[in-house]
Amino acid sequence: MNKVLAGFVLVALIISSMAIIGLADTFKVAFVTPSTINDSAWSQSMYDALVTIQNEMGKDNFQFVYSENMFVISDAAAAIRDYASQGYNLVIAHGSQYGGSLVDIAPDFPNTAFAWGSTANTFSDQGITNIFSYQPYSEQGGYVNGVLAAKLSETGMMGVIGPIETGDAKRYTEGFEAGVMATNPDAKVSVTWTGSYSDVSLSAETARTMIKAGADVLTGTSQMVIGAIGVAKKEGAIWFGYDVDQAPLAPQIVVSSVIVDWTVALRPMIAAIQSGTMGGKVYDLTLANGGLKIAVNAEGLVGKTIQGIINGDIVVGE
């Protein structure tokens, strides 16, 4: 009886160790983010990228879990530390407010790689070697949107609705203003910061106020812009999107959206981790390397272009 039992245990051990070895090849990612993954903005873009990578690498080779709504930094820090101690290969702290937490946590887990953004700071000056960072050059996408905006605006006034004047929201806004001014020096760009990433009500009222003041082109960042998009849709103003393709939200009025394709950062990052580099690199997302893409909504742009030609604002052949 003992021998049968011992044989049984031995076989079980062999099988389970094979399974563990098999699992050891799976690249496991944990993703901590301040808003929900279906926010049509910041979090959704990273979630979509992770899904894309999973489809590319296959579910056996790549798995990820996420903790959304981690707006409160201490909650996020607890989640990050938890994931690191569970043996995840990469923990993505998707928000520039998480930097301080990573400085505390990363040194305790030298075999885990951490990543955060948008920022260029990997804390290597503090001797930390397992933190990556990523930064979208949002001003590039903003510039393209700005050029298009200036060309399509009939009143020459545009409005930008931003959350808090920092990070990629700030860069996008500056790029947008630059693009508008380069195309039409007489144009006016009105920038309003609502002070919150989630105040939908305030973004809607801001959009209304801007339209009343004469703006016929609006743009903005963060998940609260759904309020502004709703107002733009009702009043017939044009919208330029950021983070994800916002055309599905209002197909008639969205001209183009700057899409951040995080896979351009994630692929080399995963490769680096698998070859032993746990941090210290900054991954830029630009138009040049495909990290930033402009998604043009044919339904919106075409309609607006035709209107411009009819009105004489766009002179063909100029």
Partner 1 sequence: MSWSIIIGILSSGIRLATPYLYAAVGETIGQLSGVVNLGVDGVMLMGAYIAFFVALSTGSLSLGLIAAAGMGAIFGLIMAFISVTLKAEQGISGIGLYLFGLGLSTFLFGITIRNVQTIDGFPDLAIPGLSRIPVIGEIFFQHNILVYVAFALIPIAWFLLNKTPFGLRVRAVGQNPEAADSLGVNVGRVRYLTVTLGGMLSGVAGASLSIALLNTFQQNLTNGMGFIAVALVYFGGWRPVLVFAGALLFSTVNALQIWLQVAGINVPSDVALMLPYIVTILVLAAMAKRRVNAPAALNKRFERGES
Residues found near partner 1 in the complex (CB under 8 A) = 35-36, 38-40, 69, 159, 165, 190-196, 198-202, 204-206, 208-210, 212-213, 223-224, 226-227, 229-230, 233-234, 248-250
Q: Apex CA 100: angle with CA 97 and CA 104, to 5°?
A: 145
Q: Which residue has the tokens 């020096």?
A: 185
Q: Which is nearer to partner 1, 28 or 188 (CB)?
A: 188
Q: Which is nearer to partner 1, 136 or 159 (CB)?
A: 159
CB 33 within 8 A of CB 65: no
Question: 166, 187, 149: which is closest to 95 by C-alpha?
Answer: 166
Phi and psi at residue 18, to the nearest 5°: -65, -40
State residue 61 phi and psi, 5-degree precision. Answer: -100, -15
Indicate the residue among 254 and 270 with the shorter CB distance to partner 1.
254
Nearer to partner 1, 202 or 292 (CB): 202
- State the minimum distance, in angstroms, from the CB of residue 158 to partner 1: 11
Q: Provide the minimum distance between the beta carbon of 193 and partner 1 in the complex, in angstroms, as a whole number.
A: 4
Residue 200 identity (one-letter amino acid)? V
Question: Which residues have a Cβ under 8 Å from the Cβ of 146 and sit 6 or more positions away?
Answer: 158, 175, 176, 177, 178, 179, 180, 181, 182, 183
CB of 157 to partner 1, least distance (A): 10
> Least separation, in Å, of the C-beta of 28 and partner 1?
23
Beta carbon nearer to partner 1, 26 or 196: 196
Please state the closest distance from residue 210 (CB atom) to partner 1, in A: 5
* Dist CA 131 CA 124 (whole Å): 8
Q: Which is nearer to partner 1, 202 or 269 (CB)?
A: 202
Q: Which one-letter amino acid corresponds to residue 150?
A: A
Residue 270 C-beta: closest distance to partner 1, Å: 27
Region at 193 (left for phi over 0; alpha for psi -120 to 50; beta for the rest): beta
Q: How far is the CB of 208 from partner 1 (least distance, A)?
A: 7
C-alpha R_g of the chain = 23
Per the rule left: phi > 0, alpha: psi between -120 and 50, beta: everything else, 160 is beta
Contacts of 300 (CB under 8 A, 6+ apart): 238, 239, 247, 251, 252, 253, 254, 255, 256
Residue with Cβ nearer partner 1 (152 or 250)? 250
Minimum distance from CB of 227 to partner 1 (Å)?
5
Nearer to partner 1, 199 or 313 (CB): 199
